[in-house]
Amino acid sequence: MSLTPTQKAPLDVPVERRALYEQNFREMTRGTGRIMMMAADQKVEHLNDDFHGPGISEDDADPEHLFRIASRARIGVMATQVGLIARYGADYPGIRYVAKLNSKTHLVPTKMSDPESRQWLSFEQLDLFRESSSLPILAVGYTIYPGSRAEPEMLREAARLVYEAHQRGLLAILWAYPRGAAVADERDPHLIAGVAGLAACLGADFVKVNEPKAKDGGNAAALREAVLAAGRTRLICAGGKETSVPDFLKRLHAQIHEAGAAGNATGRNIHQRSLPEAVAFCNAISAITLEGATLDEAVALYQKELLAASAAE
């Protein structure tokens, strides 16, 4: 199985919407078949923990920071809640949006209760919003927690969400995180491959997983099992905790070129930086993901852009 830059619409996309689906795919992936997704749903998922504190730029305190980055950097799409898109979208009409349709806080720990997250807006509500906003909302997103005792209702919502997205020519991205009292190791490679396959059965166009932790340290190689299990559903990895730029880009390069990942979804590593740093970092990520840059080229690009930004100040 090798990924192509184009993607034929699955058959739950009605015939008259297939061209739209394929166009949305091209736009999301900038014609590359790979996606650079800025994950901007964390104000719910992590509350203010990722936006305020030591080592976090003061820029990040304001939600508009997310929109400023996404509008200035070369990204594919930004995923966030409809409430934020509705509030800021008029000033940022050039961003391509993924409407993240469910979210939960991290307040209830897994050891207290299995995770559960429910779809906020219905598709009928989303339809009217897409119309009244005129914004380029190309896809929807939804998180599933396989292994939670709330799994049955979430799988049902996820399957219907994918179906309804396809009915409209939109793409569907599933965040798939095994979690709950029954899950001993959330980053077990075999388990992550399992939930990648589950997302394929749910009909997802993209599945976002956490990078597995291989016993031998070869995480990217371990990710290969998941890429295969996902089949024609393209797999992207979550960016994870804040790390150094070269380390991050090295991991990303391996995910794409060793494991066959179709891109990345990065949140904290982007928005916790100041605006110029964040923009430069996005562009370095996109260089690898969308433009075929080597690791060295991407690091060099990041440093060059940072320099230009501080010169411009």
Rounded to an integer, what distance in angstroms lies between the CA atom of residue 88 and that of residue 80? 11
Footprint of a copy of itself on 236-295 (CB under 8 A): none
Among 54, 55, 94, 109, binds a copy of itself (CB under 8 A): 109
Residue from 156, 296, 304, 310 binding a copy of itself (CB under 8 A)? 156
Single out the residue of 267, 249, 264, 263 nearest to residue 65, CA to CA: 267
Q: Are 17 and 43 in contact (CB under 8 A)?
A: no
Smallest gap from Cβ 202 to a copy of itself, in A, equals: 5
Burial class (CB in 10 A: 0-12, 13-18, 19+), 90: exposed
Nearer to a copy of itself by Cβ, of 274 and 303: the residue is 274
Query: Which part of the chain contacts a copy of itself (CB under 8 A), choosing from 149-157, 208-216, 279-287, 299-307?
Result: 149-157
Q: From the list 19, 23, 31, 90, which residue makes contact with a copy of itself (rule: CB under 8 A)?
A: 90
Whole-number minimum distance, CB 92 to a copy of itself, in Å? Answer: 11
In the block, which residue shows the tokens 């923009």?
Answer: 279
Q: DSSP per residue over 118-148, as a string?
A: -B-S-HHHHHHHHHHH---EEEEEEEE-TTS
Q: Is 304 a catalytic residue?
A: no
SS3 (DSSP) at 1:
coil
> Does the footprint of a copy of itself cover residue 137 (CB under 8 A)?
no
Note whether 105 binds a copy of itself by CB under 8 A: yes
Of 128 and 307, which CB lies nearer to a copy of itself in the complex structure?
128
The single residue of 177, 241, 250, 302 carrying the catalytic annotation is: 177
| 251 φψ region: left (φ > 0), alpha (ψ -120 to 50), beta (else) | alpha
Query: Using H for helix, E for strand and C for coil, what is the string for 260-276?
Result: CCCEEEECHHHHCCCHH
**Which of residues 15 and 311 has its CB atom nearest to a copy of itself in the complex?**
15
Of residues 218 through 237, those in contact with a copy of itself by CB under 8 A are 225, 228-233
Taking the complex as a whole, how short is the minimal distance between the CB of residue 220 and a copy of itself, in angstroms?
A: 17
CA distance 223 to 238: 12
- Cβ atoms of 211 and 223 closer than 8 Å: yes
Helix (H, G, I), strand (E, B) or coil at 224: helix
Which H helix or E strand runs over 280?
A: helix 275-291
Rule CB under 8 A: is residue 119 a binding residue for a copy of itself?
yes
> With respect to a copy of itself, which residue has the nearer C-beta, 8 or 304?
8
Q: Which tokens is 137 given?
A: 């909302």
C-alpha pair distances (Å), 263 with each of 69, 99, 252, 278: 19, 18, 8, 18
Pick one of 51, 177, 206, 281: the residue that binds a copy of itself (CB under 8 A). Answer: 51
Binding residue count for a copy of itself, defined by CB under 8 A: 96
Binding of residue 117 to a copy of itself (CB under 8 A): yes
Q: What is the smallest separation between the CB atom of 86 and a copy of itself, expressed in angstroms?
A: 4
Residue 292 CB neighbours (<10 A): 12
What residue type is 233 in one-letter code?
T
x/- string (CB under 8 A) for a copy of itself, residues 289-308?
--------------------
Q: How far is the CB of 276 from a copy of itself (least distance, A)?
A: 19
| Residue 97 designated active-site | no
Amino acid at 67: F
Q: Which is nearer to a copy of itself, 30 or 166 (CB)?
A: 166
Stretch of residues binding a copy of itself (CB under 8 A), selected from 21-29, 173-181, 252-260, 272-280? 173-181
Return the number of the residue (119 or 210) whose C-beta is nearest a copy of itself: 119
Give the position of tokens 């960016």. 239
Residues belonging to the active site? 177, 208
